[in-house]
Amino acid sequence: MKVKKEQKPMDKGKKLQSIEELESLQQQAFDRYDPLRKRVRICMTGCLAHGADKVRDALVEELENQGMSKDIDLVETGCFGFCAKAPVVAIDPEDIHYQRVKPEDAGEIVSETLGKGNIIDRLVYFDKKANKRLPYTQDIPFYKRQVKHVLRNCGRIDPKRIDHYLLNDGYKALAKVITSLSPEEVIEMIKKSGLRGRGGGGFRTGLKWEICRRAAGSPKYLICNADEGDPGAFMDRGLLEGDPHSVLEGMLIGAYALGARFGYVYVRAEYPIAIDHLKIALNELKSLGLLGDNILGKDFSFHLKLKEGAGAFVCGEETALMASIEGKRGMPRPRPPFPAHKGLWGKPTNINNVETFGNVPLIILNGSEEYTRLGTEKSKGTKIFALAGRVNNTGLVEIPMGTSLRDIIFDIGGGIPKGRTFKAVQLGGPSGGCIPGDHLDVPIDYDSLINLGAIMGSGGMVVMDSANCMIDVARFFLEFIQIESCGKCIPCRIGTKRMLEILVRITEGEGKEEDISLLKELAEGIKITALCGLGQTAPNPVLSTIRYFLDEYKEHIFEKRCPASVCVPLIKFEVNRELCKKCGICKKVCPVGAVSWEKKMPAVIDKNICIKCKTCIENCPAQAIQ
Amino acid sequence: MDGKKIVLSINGKEITCGLNKTILDVVRENGIQIPTLCDCKNLAPFGACRLCLVEIEGIPKLITACSTIAVKGMKIRTESERIDKSRRFIVELLLSDHPFDCMFCEQAGTCPLQDLAYEYGMKNIRFPGEKRATITDDTNPFIERDNSKCILCGRCVRVCDEIQGVGAIGFIDRGFQTRIGTPFDRNLDCEFCGQCVASCPVGALTAKPSKQKGRIWQTRSVKTICPYCGCGCNLTLHVRDNKIISVTSDPDTLNEGYLCSKGRFGCDYVHHPDRLQYPLIKKDGQFIRSSWEQALTLVAMKFKEIKEQHGNDSLAGLSSAKCTNEENYLFQKFIRAVLGTNNVDHCARL
Amino acid sequence: MSNLDITYISQILTGYKSMKGALIPVLQEVQNHYTYIPEPAVDLIAEALNISPSEIYGVLTFYTQFYTQPEGKYTIKLCRGTACHVKGSKSILEAIERKLGIRVGETTKDDLFTLRIVACLGACAVAPVMMVNGDYYGELTLEKIEGIFDELQAKECKSAKT
């Protein structure tokens, strides 16, 4: 399918020899841009899971058929953030927001909205609280509370086109750094901004850069850790797919500051679109001479390669990641020596995560002081979260540090669906913890979350409701860790296996009185003795669920009961006649016809037919099947 | 030698040591014991067994002594409640995935895991669970493999790679299922130097020829030099009832404990019934036992006869790699000066 | 395996001989071509890159992306991430297993489908989610599963007949 692009791409193949040539390229992009021109933006990343490609094809066809393809541009963008309403389409210049768009809607969008300027009500966000339709992006509560700094271009520009990035101050920070700042001054700016690593640990980025700059040895390597392995996290995916150049610009600035000559972007193989967009961006940079030797005619060279991961969570750990780039099994090694001194191929190496690099151009362009205006005392700037799980508005969210969990889950996230109640939110993936309702008002920053037994992590935020079993969640994470453990050190290899075995028996009704204290003991031992960060933090999901949901553990162990009706061996698969709303949904959804129900009568499950697939439980509006 | 020294403290005691040494080296130099399983002389630090954890003032986490370089002013503690608890924890975990069959295990008596279990009195494992299955490779005559006993210290893999440069075995899979093996689980097909067996701290890799021949405490050690070649590797023969039941080599000798397959597995000829133990002279198609004097006289006589009848160059000498350099020197001297020919060569040149 | 054409492997290898850290990209290319890493490939790669076959085998068994058996025509990658888990991906997994009659890691007898689970696809907002040969399917339900596989099977039947 032929897609009409917004503007003609710029002259390619000519390497930029100076800052002036870069500036003139930026000017060209600016001159060609008409802010009042009508454009249709459609997310061609996350929304693909909901058939965005078919919607795009339909839009292209309709534009063609209705003779508007010359006047209206179709822009394929990255993620808008509001994945719950996928596929999402926006119309400029008004920034009309259409959601859940189907290919059948294309004709009407073209004729009504693009042709006549009319808004199509059924595609517009409906705010239940205010009881009104909100057609413009800026009014929708999901976006209203957010501060999109790092994600400023996501969903707005075509990530496959460098001119779109240039148009939005792209590579201006790089130009500033090369023309007017020494490497030390760049590091000083990053230090002053208070930027902390967005990958999980929250180490101060400026300090990290300084250590590596001062380390003896050459060449130095700069690595972008895009091995976003935390299940339930997709911030880095969103940023790489939607605005790869902002990350690459951050890397170029980092390379300049550290004196790194070579670099790698290490991306998960599970992110084909991110890989594709990065490849395009890297090729564009190479052909413009923004990567390679003597960038912009200056004494600054940086060679950047893409490395695809091969499927190992542990490769998010720095030493394992480097082993993987070297072509080895991704087994971490003890530290010290730290990567800053002995990293990739024994040379000084600095590794930052995708979002961290995404922050760098902003700090350089707007200054450290401006950057520190947002955030808390010890955590500055914004943080991107991937909001998922049992929450209405799933998607990608960027908020200032210090926003409360309640604001994110209930204001931005729109609360819990199906009329259920909030139970916990899991942060930080397998290294993090579950935070219950009592602590939702705590302002989020690195330190407050640690106090709550969770971690900031990379930003995965999975919401759980009353139909989620916390022991099952703990078991899920331990299963994950067991699959992903590299097997090198004893505490992680055997210790987490033993923890998992205990959790399995608890969820299967075989729990023993001493199990909770055994779990705690194993957890403490593993924390102290494991080799790498993955192992040391692996017990966190268990510890935090014991801390906040001890009663639920006890119900499983002593009463052999799973209050959330998740643990199959503990479910009787009986309908509680008092709770049953007599709606018959269970009969409708049962794949094997085990449910009998008649109007105004409670349902009955035939246990001889039932295959315990839990479809009825998942669909029951009253949680009546126990 | 670099004369530079640094001062640091171990367990409150001030200590002077050389530069660029690991904490483990320094601690051991000072006669302090730290248990280790994955540490192995001459191999790069691995940091997997987590037993050598020590406390360093100012660092909240425990640090592995094997992989950390000792630096000036470091305050190291090798004993504390936290360290002791951690070590016990590790041993208990290892034992939870280990067959309790020391009574049948070839390694009994020289097994550091057995020693630790004994020391900690670890009879009851509080978290029993799944154990890995036994995979035994039985197709070669030298090495027996029992993965259920493997503690994945990686010493075998590392010695095969780092020292032998062979890489016959490697880590396979990951997580709890990690194991040591050959690519696609083919039969082990290497030179069978047995370095892997020697470096295995537990009973996962054992020497087949020694199986069930005797416990370490039932044997007497005899130090000797390998008779196979001129390298002169040091051997320690383990002898029971005047029979060699196994051969090891001390790591503190010239050959650093490394042997080849002949030295390690090739001592069975000693007790072979066909072994020549005295000179034999053939008479009327029959070998007759004789004395060295008789035999050498006969040989000398025959040399003389040949020389006189056919000339010096009708003789030639071929020497053996089993001889030492000195012996080889004497041999060529004998051929040249006594037999009077330059027809002399050595099997290693062929 | 006996009639495996190994010329492609030799072709790939010429481009990587002097590259540092070439092993994983080489394995990725080999797998892209053959859908798995054939045993003879390991020995060829070992020779070309001067790495022992045991190290290569160690690497390919470490990373979940590499397979040592041929894949079916369709590889199903079901996400087992946190968000998918709390939205019932375990039931989805069981449903696929029932539907196709295979367990995770197995391939159907007709060589059409291989079922795999992945740690996280990063499409958590549309959980539970799976990928079939590069196409995403989000907000899966047991009903949707039936439909998706019925459609794929029907498509294959049709193409087999023609």
Q: What is the pLDDT of residues B121-137, one digit of tens each?
A: 999 999 999 999 887 76
What are residue B236's DSSP bridge partners? B223, B248
Whether A395 has its CB under 8 Å from any CB of chain C: the answer is yes
Whether C104 has its CB under 8 Å from any CB of chain A: the answer is no
Report if residue B339 sits inside a domain. Answer: yes
Question: For all residues of chain B together, what is the average pLDDT?
Answer: 93
Answer yes or no: do A253 and A175 share one domain. Answer: yes
Question: What are the residues whose beta carbons fall under 8 Å from the beta carbon of A10, sequence distance 6 or more?
Answer: A25, A28, A29, A162, A163
Answer yes or no: do C142 and C87 share one domain. Answer: yes
CB contact under 8 A, C63 and A230: no
What are residue A221's DSSP bridge partners? A262, A349
Report if residue C138 sits inside a domain. Answer: yes
Please tell me which chains touch C, using 3 or more CB pairs under 8 Å as the contact test.
A, B
Gyration radius (Cα) of chain C, Å: 18
Q: Where are the beta strands (DSSP E) in chain B?
A: 5-10, 13-18, 53-56, 63-64, 75-77, 143-145, 170-172, 179-181, 205-207, 220-225, 234-240, 243-248, 280-283, 286-289, 317-319, 344-346
**Burial class of B106 by CB neighbour count within 10 A (0 to 12, 13 to 18, 19+):** buried
**Burial class of A437 by CB neighbour count within 10 A (0 to 12, 13 to 18, 19+):** middle
In this structure, what token pair is assigned to residue B7? 């001062």
Answer yes or no: do A325 and A246 share one domain. Answer: yes
Report the alpha-carbon distance of residue B180 to residue B193 in Å, rounded.
Answer: 17
Report if residue B64 sits inside a domain. Answer: yes
Contact between A323 and A333 (Cβ < 8 Å):
yes
Report if residue A122 sits inside a domain. Answer: yes
Q: Which helix (H) or strand (E) holds A537?
A: helix A533-537
Q: Please say if the pLDDT value at position B39 is more than 60.
A: yes
Q: A400 vs A84, A147, A479, CA distance in Å? A: 22, 7, 33
Report if residue C95 sits inside a domain. Answer: yes
Q: A338 vs A185, A195, C156, CA distance in Å? A: 24, 20, 53
Question: Which domain-ending residue is among A341, A367, A393?
Answer: A367
Q: Residue A229: pLDDT band by 50, 70, 90 thresholds?
A: confident
Report if residue A22 sits inside a domain. Answer: no
Chain B residues in contact with C52 (beta carbon < 8 A):
161, 166-168, 170
Chain B residues in contact with C54 (beta carbon < 8 A):
167-170, 181-183
SS3 C11: helix
Report if residue A24 sits inside a domain. Answer: no
Whether A458 has its CB under 8 Å from any CB of chain C: the answer is no
Q: Please say if the pLDDT value at position B4 is more than 90.
A: no
Which residues of B make CB contacts under 8 Å with C?
A: 161, 166-174, 181-184
Residue of chain B whose Cα is closest to the Cα of C69: B184
pLDDT digits (tens, 9 = 90+) for A111-121: 999 999 999 99
Quote the distance between the C-alpha of residue A460 and its chain's center.
6
Our CA-based measurement puts residue A275 at a distance from the nearest CA of chain B, in whole angstroms, of 26
**Upstream peptide bond of A336 is cis (omega within 30 degrees of 0):** yes
What does chain B come to in residues?
Answer: 350
**CATH number, domain containing residue A59:** 3.40.30.10
pLDDT digits (tens, 9 = 90+) for A366-383: 999 999 999 999 999 999
Answer yes or no: do C94 and C135 share one domain. Answer: yes
Closest residue to A232, CB basis, from C64, C120, C126: C120
Of A578, A588, A580, A583, which is closest to residue A615 (Cα–Cα)? A588
- Sheet of A89-92: strands edge to edge? A73-77, A39-43, A89-92, A96-98
Q: What are phi and psi of A302, to 5 degrees?
A: -150, 125
Q: Kindly write down the DSSP assignment for every residue of A503-527, as one continuous string.
A: HHHHHTT---TTHHHHHHHHHHHHH
Report if residue B154 sits inside a domain. Answer: no
Quote the distance between the C-alpha of residue C4 and its chain's center.
19
CB contact under 8 A, B174 and C61: yes
Q: Please say if the pLDDT value at position A428 is more than 70.
A: yes
End-to-end CA distance of chain C: 28
Report if residue C69 sits inside a domain. Answer: no
Closest residue to A493, CB basis, from B67, B154, B175: B175
Q: Residue B290: pLDDT band by 50, 70, 90 thresholds?
A: very high
Question: For all residues of chain A together, what is the average pLDDT?
Answer: 93
CB contact under 8 A, C91 and A468: no
Report if residue B179 sits inside a domain. Answer: no
**CATH number, domain containing residue B52:** 3.10.20.740
pLDDT of residue B46: 96
What does chain A come to in residues?
Answer: 626
Answer yes or no: do A168 and A77 share one domain. Answer: no
Closest residue to C125, CB basis, from A83, A327, A477: A83
pLDDT digits (tens, 9 = 90+) for B173-226: 999 999 999 999 999 989 999 999 999 999 999 999 999 999 999 999 999 999
Percent of chain B with pLDDT over 70: 98
Question: Which domain-ending residue is among A558, A586, A612?
Answer: A558
CB contact under 8 A, C119 and A311: yes
Report if residue B100 sits inside a domain. Answer: no
Question: Which domain-ending residue is among A93, A114, A143?
Answer: A143
**CATH number, domain containing residue A423:** 3.10.20.600
Whether A594 has its CB under 8 Å from any CB of chain C: the answer is no
Answer yes or no: do B62 and B29 share one domain. Answer: yes
Report if residue A155 sits inside a domain. Answer: no
For residue C153, give its domain range. Answer: 74-161
For residue A443, give its domain range. Answer: 382-465
- Best interface-test mutation with B: which of A331, A498, A516, A534 has the largest number of B CBs within 10 A? A498
As a whole number, mean pLDDT of residues A161-176 equals: 95
pLDDT digits (tens, 9 = 90+) for A479-534: 999 999 999 999 999 999 999 999 999 999 999 999 999 999 999 999 999 999 99
Beta-strand relationship, B205-207 and B220-225:
unpaired
pLDDT of residue B2: 52
For residue B350, give its domain range. Answer: 314-350
Beta-strand relationship, A260-267 and B280-283:
unpaired
pLDDT digits (tens, 9 = 90+) for A269-322: 889 999 999 999 999 999 999 999 999 999 999 999 999 999 999 999 999 999
CB contact under 8 A, B127 and A484: no
Contact between A63 and A97 (Cβ < 8 Å):
no
Q: Where are the beta strands (DSSP E) in C9-95?
A: 74-79
SS3 C48: helix
The number of distinct structural domains making up chain B is 3
Answer yes or no: do C152 and C78 share one domain. Answer: yes
Answer yes or no: do C156 and C90 share one domain. Answer: yes
Q: Where are the beta strands (DSSP E) in chain C?
A: 74-79, 113-118, 130-132, 135-137
The number of distinct structural domains making up chain C is 2
**Selected residues 30-49 of chain C with any CB under 8 Å from a CB in chain A:** none
pLDDT of residue A12: 53
Our CA-based measurement puts residue C39 at a distance from the nearest CA of chain A, in whole angstroms, of 18
CB contact under 8 A, B167 and C68: no
Closest residue to A531, CB basis, from B47, B93, B173: B47
Answer yes or no: do A461 and A474 share one domain. Answer: no
Gyration radius (Cα) of chain A, Å: 26
Q: B67 vs A160, A334, A537, CA distance in Å? A: 45, 7, 21
**Burial class of C147 by CB neighbour count within 10 A (0 to 12, 13 to 18, 19+):** exposed
Our CA-based measurement puts residue C124 at a distance from the nearest CA of chain A, in whole angstroms, of 6
Report if residue C13 sits inside a domain. Answer: yes
In this structure, what token pair is assigned to residue A113? 């909205």
Report the alpha-carbon distance of residue A108 to residue A115 in Å, rounded.
Answer: 9
- Sheet of B75-77: strands edge to edge? B13-18, B5-10, B75-77, B53-56, B63-64
Tens digit of each residue's pLDDT, chain C (162 residues)? 456 788 888 888 988 988 889 999 999 999 999 999 999 999 999 999 999 999 999 999 999 999 999 999 999 999 998 889 988 899 899 999 999 999 999 999 999 999 999 988 888 888 899 999 988 898 998 889 999 999 999 998 888 776
Q: A593 vs A417, A607, A622, CA distance in Å? A: 27, 11, 20
**CATH number, domain containing residue A604:** 3.30.70.20
Chain A residues in contact with C89 (beta carbon < 8 A):
none
Q: Kindly write down the DSSP assignment for every residue of B93-132, as one continuous string.
A: HHHHTS---TTT-TTTTS-HHHHHHHHHT----SS----P
Report the alpha-carbon distance of residue B306 to residue B283 in Å, rounded.
Answer: 20
CB contact under 8 A, B62 and A529: yes
Answer yes or no: do B14 and B29 share one domain. Answer: yes
Answer yes or no: do A501 and A612 share one domain. Answer: no
CB contact under 8 A, C66 and A614: no
pLDDT of residue A6: 47
Quick one: chain A helix, strand, coil %, rounded to 5? Answer: 45, 15, 40
The number of distinct structural domains making up chain A is 5
In this structure, what token pair is assigned to residue A304? 């950047």
pLDDT of residue A5: 43
What are residue A74's DSSP bridge partners? A40
Q: B282 vs B119, B275, B289, B290, CA distance in Å? A: 62, 17, 9, 10
Answer yes or no: do C79 and C153 share one domain. Answer: yes
Whether A397 has its CB under 8 Å from any CB of chain C: the answer is no
Report if residue B135 sits inside a domain. Answer: no
In this structure, what token pair is assigned to residue A457? 């992590």
Report if residue A3 sits inside a domain. Answer: no
Report if residue A26 sits inside a domain. Answer: no
Chain C residues in contact with A463 (beta carbon < 8 A):
86
Answer yes or no: do A189 and A284 share one domain. Answer: yes
